Every structure is written in C-alpha cells, then in structure tokens.
C-alpha cells in the first residue's frame, strides 16, 4: 500500500509551491496547507526544515528566470533599473509562468504584458523597446536561408523581372513603433545615457534581420514599411511596382523606387533565393 501521494501528484504540488508568488511559508498559508503536511512529503533535518529546503528551490527557480529575462532584455533592464525590473519580472511570471521545457521562450510575452503593466502606463515606449529587443532575440534563432544575389538577378532577362518572386529570409521581422526606441537602444549600446524617445510617424517601423550570425536593425519609412509588409509573406517585383504605383504619380517613379528597395534589400542580404 502506498504511504504517500503518487509521483505525479507530488510533482504537481512541488511545482505549484516552488513557482508560487510568495515564499514557501506564506504560500502554504495561502493554500491552507499545514507545515506538518509538507514535512511528510519533503524531508527536513536539523540543518534545514522542509519549508527552508523548498525555499531554496523557489529562489533558484525565480532568479534563474530573472537572469534569462535580463539577458533577453538588457536595454529594458538598464532603463528601468534593477528593482523595478525585478518587480516587473515577478508580476510577469505570475501572469505568464514558464510552460516550455526551454527557457528560450520564457520572455516571449513580456512586450505585450509590459504594454498593460503599470510600468508601461507611465512610459508607454518601454513596451516598444522590449518588442525591439525580443525581435532581435527571436530573429537570431530563426532558420538560415540561401540569399538572392546580384549575380542571380543579372542573369535574368529584363522581361522576366515582373514575375520575379520576392520573399524575405526567415530571419527577419518588422517591429511597428510609435516611438523612436531605436534611439534609446543606440544610446545604451554606445554607453550613453539615453534620452526619452520622441513620438514617431505612426507609420514608422523598425526592420530587424540577421546576416550570418549578426543581428541588425534599422528604421524604415512609411513606403518601405508597406513594401516590406508585402515582402515578408512573399510577392513579385511586378506586384511591388503596382502597389507603389497606387501611391505615386507615375509607373516610372514606382518602378524606380521598387528598384531602389530591391538594391537595398540585396545589399542587406534580406532576400531569400527562391
């Protein structure tokens, strides 16, 4: 006959207590679990009680994830300060506990959470700075792809350009931003004290992509943003020219701008070879 809970039940209790928002003693009281009941499950001794032993695991759990969040969001952590970032991480983990075997994904929802958090309410641009940092983390891990080269384009006949299929490499993302958070990122990266960002054009966005093992980002204007929004899922050079032609005064001007974008994307190794 079993003299204790099944392993799955023991694991569930252990996980709930270790990942709870309070210290183990307070968590037990909140859940109405007497300490002797815990002592029947977790061995204690003269050096450390069952509660003290679980507190070690609880602290390790939290501070390991806090370390991961700081590594994924170093600019955000630097801007808000150590204690507010600690409190933000505490609130975040209560709302978004880690559910994946890898800690790689633990910070994925932080930008959206921060936009609704009290800290984000006082400085709404913080969520966009976090979104930029997460995009850089995410893009770094995305799949490699062979890039479209100038040589491949040079081999095309002029009449074939309209049907030329265009798509971005997988390691690419577009981050909408109402604030100039890239200026904050650049200042911190350069070891400077960042000034608060300014409101940007509502169509402003930041392109993030990886070339080799290096992640880059740059600001894009309204027209390039719209062009990129069609590029990310895939388009053709002819369709790109047509979309730009709807905004510009002539097909010739649209074709010239599309060619400028194409040259810039080629230089950035942004286009996948299809």
pLDDT tens for 210-235 read 999 999 999 999 999 999 999 999 99
- The beta strand positions in the chain, using DSSP E, are 165-166, 172-176, 205-211, 214-220, 235-236
CA distance 112 to 115: 5
Is the pLDDT confidence value at 2 over 60? no
Model confidence band, residue 5 (pLDDT cutoffs 50, 70, 90): low
Euclidean distance between CA atoms 129 and 111, whole angstroms: 8
- Residue 148 reports pLDDT greater than 80: yes
Angle at 76 between CA 107 and CA 200, to 5 degrees: 110
Nearest-angstrom CA–CA distance, 109 and 236: 33
Tens digits of residue pLDDT in 155-164: 889 889 899 9
In tens, the pLDDT along 39-72 reads: 666 776 767 677 777 777 677 778 899 999 999 9
Q: HSE of 80 in the Cβ direction (CA atoms, 13 Å)?
A: 25
What phi-psi label fits residue 234: left (phi over 0), alpha (psi between -120 and 50 degrees) or beta? Answer: left
Residue 75 CA to chain centroid, in angstroms?
13
The pTM score is: 0.84
Beta-carbon contacts of 53 under 8 Å, excluding residues fewer than 6 positions away, are 42, 43, 44
Structure tokens at 101: 């075997």
Determine the angle formed by the axes of helices 7-18 and 24-31, rounding to 10 degrees. Answer: 120
Q: What is the pLDDT of residue 235?
A: 96
Provide the 3-class DSSP secondary structure of residue 175: strand
């Amino acid at each position: 006959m079993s003299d204790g809970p099944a392993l799955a039940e023991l694991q569930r209790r252990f996980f709930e207590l270790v990942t709870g928002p309070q210290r183990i003693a307070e968590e037990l009281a909140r859940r109405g679990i007497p300490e002797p009941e815990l002592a029947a499950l977790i061995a204690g001794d003269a050096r450390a009680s069952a509660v003290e032993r679980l507190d070690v695991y609880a602290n390790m759990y939290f501070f390991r994830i806090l370390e991961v969040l700081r590594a994924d969001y170093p600019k955000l952590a630097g801007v808000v300060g150590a204690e507010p970032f600690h409190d933000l991480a505490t609130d975040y983990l209560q709302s978004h506990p880690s559910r994946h075997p890898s800690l790689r994904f633990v910070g994925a929802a932080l930008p959206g959470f921060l936009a609704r958090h009290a800290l984000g309410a006082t400085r709404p641009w913080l969520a966009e700075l976090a979104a930029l940092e997460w995009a850089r983390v995410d893009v770094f891990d995305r799949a490699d792809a062979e890039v479209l080269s100038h040589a491949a384009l040079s081999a095309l006949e002029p009449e074939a350009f309209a049907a030329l299929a265009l798509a971005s490499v997988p390691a690419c993302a577009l981050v909408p931003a109402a604030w100039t958070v890239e200026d904050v990122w650049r200042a911190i990266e350069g070891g400077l004290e960042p000034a608060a960002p300014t409101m940007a054009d509502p169509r402003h966005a930041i392109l993030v992509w990886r070339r080799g093992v290096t992640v880059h980002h740059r600001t894009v204007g309204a027209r390039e943003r719209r062009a990129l929004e069609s590029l990310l899922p895939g388009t053709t050079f002819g369709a790109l020219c047509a979309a730009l032609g709807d905004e510009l005064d002539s097909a010739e001007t649209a074709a010239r701008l599309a060619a400028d974008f194409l040259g810039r994307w080629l230089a950035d190794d942004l286009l996948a070879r299809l």
